[in-house]
Amino acid sequence: MPDVAPAPATEIAPQTGGWPSLVADWSADRHAFRGVSWGKAMMWVFLLSDTFVFSCFLIGYMTVRMSTTVPWPNPSEVFSLEVGGTNFPLLLIAIMTFVLISSSGTMAMAVNFAYRRDRLRTVLLMLATAFFGATFVGMQAFEWTKLIHEGVRPWENPWGAPQFGSAFFMITGFHGTHVTIGVIFLLIVARKAWRGDFDTGRKGFFTSRSGRWEIVEITGLYWHFVDLVWVFIFALFYLW
Amino acid sequence: MAHAATAEGQQHPIRLYLLVWGWLFILSACSYLVDYVGLQGVLRWSLILLFMLVKAGLIVAVFMHMAWERLALAYAILLPPLAVLVFVGIMVFESGHTLGMREFFFAGV
């Protein structure tokens, strides 16, 4: 049996697409995620695990809502906002949704400019994203304050099933925490980008490795995920 | 080359992001309108879920660049969440049982 050294990964012609590429990548006895950096792959794996965390919250909410004999408070009325004497249902939530979508838009463009090595535009767009995120958290704090003043607690509320409060605080609280962490993450990466770390190869304080522009895309993945979770919360908690 | 997912990173025209951004606004406005005009019943739920899934799809495919990643990654990330649907099914069944028991034993309370 001839002893043949394995060919370098680059010499194995990558299948370009479709099912053959899937089979080839997974059966290559090499990196399954060909051409994907470990940072990006790990962020995706983390986001997958976070998907399960939020799924469990939403499924828990679904379970208590479906199994209670007490009527569920009407979110459309609970979250209405009075502007100039008229009650708009879910007005604040709608504004929050648009703010978060806008932040995703600016983030997507920041990633694009990062790969063009356009330092100024990247930083400005990341700061805009962080600003929208902070605005979102601020509006959420306003909403929590309003509801707490109206008597919503994790164990009771004036309108119906007591589980409403616990589901609301758990789900929006966990999401708000993710947004807050995302804002901090954005500011840290924006500072590094502004300082030119990704061009000069300056070592990171925490990892002692040179940063690369790809970190902007990885930050973006996290940020878009936060927006993605809000899409589900908006539909399943507020509109249901 | 307009679209490319290379070692150098993702390169797509800015116009694409603006287009998706616009669509996300439109879809969000639509799902808000479903509540605003007070649609009820099957129409309400199907529209809300439809808008939700389309928005989620646009974010994952374009903003998160999943459309241009290799299938090996896309399937590793996108298939496992389907297990959540099984969990949903189990808990719908469970909730129905709990509700039935509550109505049966605490009907007069």
| Residue pair A201/A99 in contact by the 8 Å Cβ criterion | no
Per-residue pLDDT band at A21 (split at 50, 70, 90): confident
Phi, psi of A121 (to 5 degrees): -65, -40
Using the Cβ of B105 and the Cβ atoms of chain A, whether some distance falls under 8 Å is answered with: no
**What CATH number did the domain enclosing A164 receive?**
1.20.120.80
**A164-205 confidence digits (pLDDT tens):** 999 999 999 999 999 999 999 999 999 999 999 998 888 888
Rounded-to-integer distance, Cα A78 and Cα A91, Å: 11
In Å, what is the CA distance from B94 to each residue of A63, A171, B87, B97, B100? Answer: 8, 21, 10, 5, 10
pLDDT, average across residues A138-163:
94
pLDDT at residue A42 tops 50? yes
Q: What value does the mean pLDDT take over residues A11-38?
A: 80
Distance from CA of B67 to the nearest CA of A (A): 12
Confidence class of residue A148 from pLDDT cuts 50, 70 and 90? very high
- Regarding whether B23 and B48 lie in a shared domain, the answer is yes
Subunit contact B92:A62, Cβ cutoff 8 A: yes
Q: Which residues contact A111 (CB under 8 A, 6 or more apart)?
A: A216, A217, A220, B10
Q: Helices (DSSP H) in B1-109: which residue ranges? A: 14-36, 41-58, 71-78, 82-105
The answer to whether residue B74 sits within a structural domain is no
Q: Whose CA is closest to A209, among A37, A35, A43?
A: A37
Q: Could you tell me which residues come within 8 angstroms of residue B100 by beta carbon, excluding any fewer than 6 positions away?
A: none
- Does residue B32 share a domain with residue B58? yes
Angstroms from B109 CA to nearest CA on chain A: 11
Q: Find the mean pLDDT for residues A200-214.
A: 86
A51, A140: one domain:
yes
pLDDT at A20: 86
Total structural domains in chain A?
A: 2
Residues of chain B with pLDDT below 70 are 1-9, 108-109
CB B70 within 8 A of CB A36: yes
Look up the domain containing B33 and give its range: 4-69
Instruction: Return the structure tokens found at B46.
Output: 């199907």
Confidence band for A7, pLDDT divided at 50, 70 and 90: low
Helix (H, G, I), strand (E, B) or coil at B80: coil
Same domain, A14 and A130: no
User: How many whole angstroms separate alpha carbon A121 and alpha carbon A113?
Assistant: 6
Q: How many domains does chain B have?
A: 2
Residue reference for tokens 């739920």: B45
Domain of residue A24 covers 1-35
Q: A47, B66 in Cβ contact below 8 A?
A: no
Question: Does A15 have pLDDT greater than 80?
Answer: no
Q: Return all residues near A69 (Cβ < 8 A) that are at least 6 apart.
A: B99, B102, B103, B106
CB atoms A232 and B32 under 8 Å: no
B29 with B59, same domain: the answer is yes
Please state the ipTM of this predicted complex: 0.91
B106 contacts on A by Cβ (under 8 Å): 69
Residues A184 and A130 in one domain: yes
Looking at the partner chain, which of A69, A90, A109 has a beta carbon nearest the beta carbon of B106? A69
* CB pair distance less than 8 Å for A225 and B70: no
| Mean per-residue pLDDT of chain A | 90
* Tokens linked to B70: 């290799």
Give the rounded percent of residues in chain A with a pLDDT score beyond 70: 93
- Would you state the pLDDT for residue B1? 39
Beta strands in A86-132 (DSSP E): 86-88
Answer yes or no: is B92 within a domain.
Answer: yes
Position A13 pLDDT exceeds 60: no
- Both B64 and B92 in one domain: the answer is no
* pLDDT for A207: 81
**A19–B69 C-beta distance less than 8 A:** no
Q: Which residues of B touch A231 (CB under 8 A)?
A: 52, 55-56, 59
- Provide the pLDDT for residue A90: 87
Q: Are residues A28 and A108 in the same domain?
A: no
Nearest chain A Cα distance for residue B105, angstroms: 12
d(CA A46, CA A67): 32
Shared domain for B15 and B63, answered yes or no, is yes
Q: Are residues A98 and A145 in the same domain?
A: yes
Q: Name the band, by pLDDT with cuts 50, 70 and 90, for residue A30.
A: confident
Residue B12 and residue B53 in one domain = yes
Contact A110, A99 (CB under 8 A): no
Token pair in block for residue A81: 């906002």
Q: What percent of chain A has pLDDT over 90?
A: 69
Residue A2 has pLDDT above 70, yes or no: no
Amino acid at A226: V
Together in a domain, A51 and A116: yes
* B54, B96: one domain: no
Judge if A68 and A164 occupy the same domain: yes
pLDDT for position A5: 59
Q: Which residues of A touch B59 (CB under 8 A)?
A: 104, 224, 227-228, 231
pLDDT for B14: 92
Pair B60, B97 in one domain: no
- Overall average pLDDT of the A25-46 stretch: 90
Nearest Cα of chain B lies from the Cα of A2 at a distance, in angstroms, of: 31
